[in-house]
Amino acid sequence: MDMQQLRIFLSISRTLNFTRTAEEFYMTQPTVSNRIRALEEELGTALIKRSPHHVSMTEAGTEFLNYAASILELEAAAALRMRNMGADKPGYVRVAMLSSAAPRFSRALKEFSTRCPKVQVDVAMLEGSEMLRAISRLEYDLYFANEPMLPRPSVKLSYAVTGTSQLHLFVNRADLPSIDMEDWSTIGRHPFVSMQASDFTLSSQIDRVCQNRGIQPEIMNYYNRADMLLLGVDSGAGVAILPPEVAALKCPENVAALPIAGEDATLRSVVAWKTDSRNAEADRFRDIALM
């Protein structure tokens, strides 16, 4: 199995056409067929169903897609890391961040890149269960997250609160005349768009905010990223409750943000790091983020 075989396989899974994939790789169609057949023989199972007029994925082929993509991503990451080390750029920092942490992270990255231009910084924007899983496995050097996401007490992670904000109600401007923040029954009449329940730290806080104000939101659509909810609000699909930082970088013109008063709507953002960190560059990035 080689990387080219995997790239060809992923291309065919997308095009479902051997000729089109051959054109993408500047190969002949028989060469592409032979590369896929060799991959199937090595794996001991058929990945592609072929007929004169139809190409489709087998069950095994569909399952192998994630493995192939992961292998290629790992290979690319390893190659970049080795190139940087060979070019006298040994420093390496891995950061996980929520989309709502983008403004603070962006400021820290700008300052860090000025001070440490030879340090490689890999960034993953995670939401909900992805961030919780990454924290539980200690997969990154730094986490730009929310306080409820962190295990407490923890001897493996330390953190500092970097700011507090109030959750906001995001509404389409066309719906503003029907919204009264002092009377949440006016809000309960609107459908909601929401994060998936797997992001239970945010979704549970939103549920508590609504329950404390006497409404049971009717969820119309779920999204796997907080910033994507703004597109749902912009389309008129419903209202949403989110951290205001989600809209800091770009908020659709048709969307208005209304702050929600009360301690139950307070959100504490944090930067967390491994307590036993031995990564000097990560410690430097953390110190900049906490300035």
Interval 79-118: pLDDT, tens: 766 776 676 667 889 999 998 888 899 999 999 999 999 8
> What residues does 49 pair with on adjacent strands?
56
What pLDDT sits at residue 43?
A: 93
How sure is the predictor about 228, in pLDDT bands with cuts at 50, 70 and 90? confident
Q: In the predicted model, what is the mean pLDDT of the chain?
A: 90
pLDDT at 39 over 90: yes
What pLDDT sits at residue 74?
A: 80
Q: Whole-angstrom Cα distance, residue 275 to residue 141?
A: 10
pLDDT at 182 over 70: yes
Residue 138's region, left for phi above 0, alpha for psi from -120 to 50, else beta, is left
Q: Whole-angstrom Cα distance, residue 41 to residue 1?
A: 10
Q: What is the mean pLDDT of residues 211-238?
A: 89
pLDDT digits (tens, 9 = 90+) for 189-221: 999 998 876 667 788 889 999 999 999 999 888
Closest to 279 in 3D by CA, of 118, 14, 90: 90
For the question of whether the overall pTM of this predicted structure is more than 0.75, the answer is no
What pLDDT sits at residue 51?
A: 83
pLDDT digits (tens, 9 = 90+) for 237-274: 999 999 888 887 678 999 999 999 999 999 999 999 99
What pLDDT sits at residue 256?
A: 95
C-alpha triplet 175, 181, 185: angle, nearest 5°:
80
pLDDT at 144 over 90: yes
**Based on the number of CB atoms within 10 Å of its own CB, is 232 exposed (0-12), middle (13-18) or buried (19 or more)?**
buried
**Based on the number of CB atoms within 10 Å of its own CB, is 285 exposed (0-12), middle (13-18) or buried (19 or more)?**
buried
Pairing status of strand 54-57 against strand 48-51: antiparallel
pLDDT at 73 over 90: no
What pLDDT sits at residue 199?
A: 66
Percent of the chain whose predicted confidence (pLDDT) is above 90: 63
Percent of the chain whose predicted confidence (pLDDT) is above 70: 95
Alpha carbon 196 to its chain centroid, in Å, reads 13
